[in-house]
């Protein structure tokens, strides 16, 4: 996914109205009313932006996105009924002309290797779900406004600290000279393990995969473990990258594995 660090656009500049002169329509999706009010206030003074609705859970976010057709949904990940990743997928797969900007307290903060890995997987899950950007909740108001404008204009935004960490991790996964063709790496997987890998690459949780495949969550965990072991991968982040490198799944592909 192309990325760009958020930069504040001057008031009245072309970047202030990336939707052809009309105001950029924004939907706020957060489970805490006070934080939604804070976001609304932060955007109220920005020229060329208009908050057109608020959602308190993921189901409502998808419903309002369909009814209001905002240009950008500012989405929290931890939402009741349907989490932010599920809501993002629902919006993207519906074909709506609506883009999603994830803004969450769960952005990577460098709190230990396990915490970093989990947060990295979350960012990749958001990207796989179709989000056009990922910011931490403590981003300055000016950068949030600029990010919304960038996303509305068709660009993508990842906070620089998050992007730097992800690029470092991706560097570890690049094939070295003399390696076999990437596609051969999947030959040892069963059909079900390939299905599970596709779901992992789309950012689905074990619980979501279990529902999709009509199996128990324990069975899914077993399949994921087999995939990581067979492919000699360290974690789900590497699994996501490998799935894209081998062509098993492509950005924006919501129909299933390529045959």
Checking if the pLDDT of 4 tops 80, the result is: no
For 31-60, write each residue's pLDDT tens digit. Answer: 999 999 999 999 988 989 999 999 999 999
For 56-106, write each residue's pLDDT tens digit. Answer: 999 999 999 999 999 999 999 889 999 998 999 899 888 889 999 998 765
For 148-194, write each residue's pLDDT tens digit. Answer: 998 998 887 877 666 666 656 655 555 544 444 455 778 889 999 99
Q: Which stretch, 117-121, 129-133, 184-188, has highest mean pLDDT?
A: 129-133
- What pLDDT, on a 0 to 100 scale, did the predictor assign at position 36? 93
- What pLDDT, on a 0 to 100 scale, did the predictor assign at position 119? 66
Q: Is the pTM of this model over 0.85?
A: no
- What pLDDT, on a 0 to 100 scale, did the predictor assign at position 124? 72
**Average pLDDT of the residues of the chain:** 78
- Secondary structure (DSSP) of the chain: -------PPPTTSGGG-TBTTBPEEEEEE-S-HHHHHHHHHHHHTSTTEEEEEEESSHHHHHHHHHHH--SEEEE-S--SSS-HHHHHHHHHHTT-S-EEEEEETTS----SHHHHHHHHHHHHHHHHHT-SEEEETT--HHHHHHHHHHHHTT--EE-HHHHHHHHHHHHTTSPPTTPPPGGGGGTTS-HHHHHHHHHHHTT--HHHHHHHHTS-HHHHHHHHHHHHHHTT-SSHHHHHHHHHHTTSS-TT--S----
- What pLDDT, on a 0 to 100 scale, did the predictor assign at position 158? 78
- What pLDDT, on a 0 to 100 scale, did the predictor assign at position 126? 77
Residue with more model confidence, 96 or 18: 96
- Would you place residue 16 in the very low, low, confident or very high pLDDT band (cuts 50, 70, 90)? very low
- What pLDDT, on a 0 to 100 scale, did the predictor assign at position 78? 87
């Amino acid at each position: 996914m192309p990325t760009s660090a958020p930069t504040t656009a001057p008031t009245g500049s072309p970047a202030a109205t990336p939707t052809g002169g009309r105001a950029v329509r924004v939907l706020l999706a957060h489970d805490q009313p006070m934080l939604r009010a804070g976001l609304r206030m932060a955007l109220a003074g920005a020229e060329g932006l208009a908050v057109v609705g608020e959602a308190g859970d993921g189901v409502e976010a998808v419903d309002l996105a369909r009814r209001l057709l905002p240009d950008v949904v500012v989405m929290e990940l931890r939402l009741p009924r349907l989490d932010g990743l599920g809501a993002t997928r629902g919006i993207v797969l519906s074909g709506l002309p609506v883009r999603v900007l994830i803004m969450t307290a769960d952005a990577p903060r460098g709190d230990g290797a396990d915490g970093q890995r989990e947060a990295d997987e979350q960012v990749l899950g958001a990207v796989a779900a179709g989000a056009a950007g990922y910011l931490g909740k403590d981003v300055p108001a000016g950068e949030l406004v600029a990010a919304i404008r960038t996303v509305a204009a068709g660009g993508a935004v990842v906070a620089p600290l998050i992007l730097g960490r992800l690029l470092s991790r991706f560097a570890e996964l690049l094939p070295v000279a003399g390696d076999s063709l990437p596609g051969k790496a999947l030959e040892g997987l069963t059909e079900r393990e390939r299905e599970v890998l596709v779901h992992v690459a789309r950012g689905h949780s074990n619980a979501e995969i279990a529902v999709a495949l009509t199996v128990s969550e324990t069975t899914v965990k077993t399949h994921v473990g087999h995939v990581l072991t067979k492919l000699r991968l360290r974690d789900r982040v590497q699994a996501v990258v490998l799935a894209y490198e081998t062509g098993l799944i492509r950005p924006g592909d919501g129909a299933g594995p390529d045959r």
